[in-house]
Amino acid sequence: MATSTHTSIMYPVMPTDIGQVLPVARLLQRRGAGRLWVGQSLRLDTHQIFAALAGMGVRVPMGSGVTLAPLRHPYDAAVQARSVAAFSGFPYVAGIGPATPDFQRALHGSAYRKPLTAMREYVTVMRGLLQGEVVRHEGEYHSLEAEMFALEAPRVEIGLGVLRPRMARMAGAVADVAVTWMTPAGYVGDTLVPALADGAAEAGRKAPRVATVVHVAVARPGRDIRSAARAGAGAHLRADHYTDMLRRGGVEAYPDDPDAGADALVEAGVFVTGTPDGIAAELDRYRESGVDEVVLNPAGVLNTEGLGAGMRDLQEILAAVDRRHG
């Protein structure tokens, strides 16, 4: 059984001020365990958020879950990731995703015809640079002949956003971490973990570890859990790739009815709720399904009741996890 050190936190919205992220980072610092994850932020840049926290003396393990590949060349991505590792003093997880076709098209004029190829090339270039190699790569999407300037820093682990089997198989061949979001526990264990293992075996390497972002909300008197689920997961429930993944995992979700999809998340236990001790017990289903790092996502409560309520949930859930595993 995984220990409480494998329970982390996602700050799930794009902040406008470092003070919004600071309480979450300090909670992890006081706890002495767990990683702070931040997704792609188009307000304050994700990497600059991490650097600001480190500059304030809040040095904890950090990870991006996930930044979007179309925004930066893999050389810049490698520099940004290594910089965070150097500032924080901890190994950094550079989680990367291809973004939606619409986002790709908006930035580059066309969508990736072969998104798996694009991401494989991206990771290949990044890894070579981070290993100190002179990278000579002429690919369909990414080309480079260069090396990084030397800098002593903790290791950068490369993560890939993974929702479906084909991406999982590719991640198994090239990534250090598979970052999954809103994936049912059974689907992770029955579908994604085997695909990761197959890809790793074909490449002759160790399978990536799995970090899964899980929506959580403590059930409290007067709290509307279904409304919280809609507020926390609604954006993803409008996306074809997320709803397709959920249906594969047995959750009836469709992009034209995100409210019904949010209700289905609650019914299926993918939006995890209950008492703090009950939530801690439910999170073990993910560990038993092969998840190495459970990442608590308080988006539903944060979006409906504010940061204070979200922090109260996180504190109580982490305390319950530590009691259970301590």
Condensed to tens digits (0 to 9), the pLDDT of residues 183-206 reads 999 999 999 999 999 999 999 999
CA distances from residue 291 to 32, 120, 272 in whole angstroms, order as listed: 21, 23, 16
Does some domain include residue 166?
Answer: no
Q: Which residue's structure tokens are 């490369």?
A: 158
| Residue 145 belongs to domain spanning | 1-161
Residue segments in the chain with a per-residue pLDDT below the cut of 50: 1-5
CA distances from residue 139 to 121, 136, 147 in whole angstroms, order as listed: 7, 10, 17
- Among 100, 133, 161, the domain-final residue is 161
The Cα 256–Cα 260 span in angstroms is 9
Q: Where are the alpha helices (DSSP H) in 131-210?
A: 165-174, 185-187, 193-203
Say whether both 187 and 320 belong to one domain. yes
Does some domain include residue 172?
Answer: no
In this predicted structure, what is the pLDDT of residue 5?
A: 46
Give me the number of domains the chain comprises.
Answer: 2
Q: Which residue's structure tokens are 């204070």?
A: 308
In this predicted structure, what is the pLDDT of residue 113?
A: 97
The Cα 110–Cα 291 span in angstroms is 35
In this predicted structure, what is the pLDDT of residue 197?
A: 98
In this predicted structure, what is the pLDDT of residue 293?
A: 98
Say whether both 249 and 197 belong to one domain. yes
Say whether both 207 and 145 belong to one domain. no
Does some domain include residue 245?
Answer: yes
- Among 161, 192, 217, the domain-final residue is 161
Two structure tokens written together for 149: 């300037």
Does some domain include residue 176?
Answer: no
pTM listed for this prediction: 0.97
The Cα 268–Cα 263 span in angstroms is 9
Does some domain include residue 266?
Answer: yes
- Among 161, 192, 219, the domain-final residue is 161
In this predicted structure, what is the pLDDT of residue 185?
A: 98
Say whether both 308 and 255 belong to one domain. yes
Say whether both 141 and 219 belong to one domain. no
